[in-house]
């Protein structure tokens, strides 16, 4: 794993989110779990080499951040915003998170097939959040502070984890660094406020939900990209384009690649982003 500071580790090289952990003098705090089974098992081992896992934090409910919880059963309790618990691996989500996790195996983790649970086994104990909160939450462990900041926008239960002693913040998918932004279940107004909040933190290291580790300067890039998306679809609506015309004519596929392993989702992301923004703008709902 990449060592961001002497006590902060992350992995930006695998399909799924950037799973991370922080080593304190009183054990380890995991922030998001690897989606791929063998990567989850390996990260648990790597984390436990530094001490017992005291907490597992999920920054959002999307499958790429929570599926790996299954492989952390019996480690410290999972902590997440209440909306992460409410939306945890719901089969009604599209694509179905369980199916989406399984679909990644042949291409990205063939060895993971052997330890991938069938649906019944998985849902018996997917290692859901055991501790939830609705605003912010502060944990203190071994001389480290973990400020779990409620930063909704990308998802309803989105949080960032600020560790002031490491001058680091784990933003979850409030920042997609140099890769495509998925915004079709998002509230852009809230997301912009979340970026403003992250921008106020006194940090050197920004560990995004996806893409390489960056700095606070990237907050402005992410903000600009969200505004560009809204402006492009609003301009289409203003010109009287139908949704299909907007979908056909608006694309930011040239801007960034899709994060690792999901390149085939490029068309889906462009289409769903346009479609969601179009529906809100036409309905007069702030995006």
How far is Cα 40 from Cα 47, in angstroms, rounded to an integer?
Answer: 10
The correct pick among 17, 89, 163, 183 for binding Zn ion (CB under 5 A) is 17
Q: Of 175 and 247, which has the nearer Cβ to Zn ion? A: 175
Q: Of 108 and 173, which has the nearer Cβ to Zn ion? A: 173
Distance of CA 141 to the CA centre of its chain: 24
Instruction: Work out how close the CB of 60 gets to Zn ion at its nearest, in angstroms, rounded to a whole number.
Output: 7
- What would the x/- binding string for Zn ion be over residues 61 to 80, using CB under 5 A? ---x----------------
Angle, alpha carbons 64-49-175 (nearest 5°): 30
- Note whether 83 binds Zn ion by CB under 5 A: no
Angle, alpha carbons 214-218-219 (nearest 5°): 125
Number of other residues whose CB lies within 10 A of the CB of residue 164 = 14
Q: Are 61 and 83 in contact (CB under 8 A)?
A: yes
Instruction: Work out how close the CB of 16 gets to Zn ion at its nearest, in angstroms, rounded to a whole number.
Output: 7
- What would the x/- binding string for Zn ion be over residues 95 to 134, using CB under 5 A? ----------------------------------------
Q: Are 177 and 255 in contact (CB under 8 A)?
A: no
Q: Of 8 and 63, which has the nearer Cβ to Zn ion? A: 63
How far is Cα 205 from Cα 213, in angstroms, rounded to an integer?
Answer: 7
Which range of residues in 5-13, 56-64, 116-124, 215-223 is near Zn ion by CB under 5 A? 56-64
Instruction: Work out how close the CB of 40 gets to Zn ion at its nearest, in angstroms, rounded to a whole number.
Output: 15
Q: Of 17 and 201, which has the nearer Cβ to Zn ion? A: 17
Instruction: Work out how close the CB of 234 gets to Zn ion at its nearest, in angstroms, rounded to a whole number.
Output: 26
Instruction: Work out how close the CB of 87 gets to Zn ion at its nearest, in angstroms, rounded to a whole number.
Output: 13
Instruction: Work out how close the CB of 68 gets to Zn ion at its nearest, in angstroms, rounded to a whole number.
Output: 12
The correct pick among 83, 108, 109, 173 for binding Zn ion (CB under 5 A) is 173
Q: In sequence order, what are the residues at sequence separation of 6 or more whose Cβ sits closer than 8 angstroms to the Cβ of residue 245?
A: 236
Q: Are 37 and 109 in contact (CB under 8 A)?
A: yes
Q: In sequence order, what are the residues at sequence separation of 6 or more whose Cβ sits closer than 8 angstroms to the Cβ of residue 122?
A: 70, 98
R_g over Cα of the chain = 18
The correct pick among 209, 211, 236, 287 for binding Zn ion (CB under 5 A) is 209
Residues 231-260 that bind Zn ion (CB under 5 A): none
SS3 81: strand
Instruction: Work out how close the CB of 42 gets to Zn ion at its nearest, in angstroms, rounded to a whole number.
Output: 19
- Note whether 211 binds Zn ion by CB under 5 A: no
Angle, alpha carbons 37-132-134 (nearest 5°): 130
Binding residues for Zn ion, rule: CB under 5 A, are 17, 64, 173, 209
């Amino acid at each position: 794993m990449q060592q961001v500071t002497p006590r902060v580790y992350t992995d930006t090289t695998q399909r799924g989110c950037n799973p991370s952990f922080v080593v304190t003098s009183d054990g380890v705090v995991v922030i998001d779990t690897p989606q791929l089974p063998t990567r989850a098992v390996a990260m648990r081992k790597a984390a436990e080499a530094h001490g017992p896992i005291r907490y597992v934090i999920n920054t959002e409910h999307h499958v790429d951040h929570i599926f790996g919880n299954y492989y952390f059963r019996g480690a410290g309790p999972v902590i997440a915003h209440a909306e992460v618990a409410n939306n945890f691996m719901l089969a009604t989500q599209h694509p179905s998170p369980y199916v989406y996790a399984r679909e990644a195996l042949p291409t990205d983790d063939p060895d993971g097939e052997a330890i991938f649970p069938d649906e019944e086994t998985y849902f018996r104990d997917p290692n859901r959040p055991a501790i939830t909160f609705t605003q912010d939450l502060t944990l203190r462990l071994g001389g480290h502070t973990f400020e779990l900041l409620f930063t909704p926008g990308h998802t309803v239960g989105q949080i960032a984890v600020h560790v002031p002693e490491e001058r680091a913040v784990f933003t979850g998918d409030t920042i997609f660094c140099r890769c495509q932004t998925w915004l079709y279940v998002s509230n852009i107004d809230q997301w912009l406020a979340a970026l403003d909040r992250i921008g106020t933190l006194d940090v050197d290291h920004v560990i995004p939900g996806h893409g390489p580790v960056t700095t606070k300067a990237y907050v402005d890039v992410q903000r600009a990209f969200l505004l560009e998306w809204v402006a492009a679809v609003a301009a289409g609506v203003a010109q009287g384009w139908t949704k299909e015309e907007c979908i056909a004519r608006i694309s930011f596929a040239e801007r960034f690649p899709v994060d690792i392993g999901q390149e085939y989702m490029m068309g889906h992301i462009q289409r769903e982003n346009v479609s969601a923004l179009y529906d809100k703008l036409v309905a007069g709902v702030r995006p």
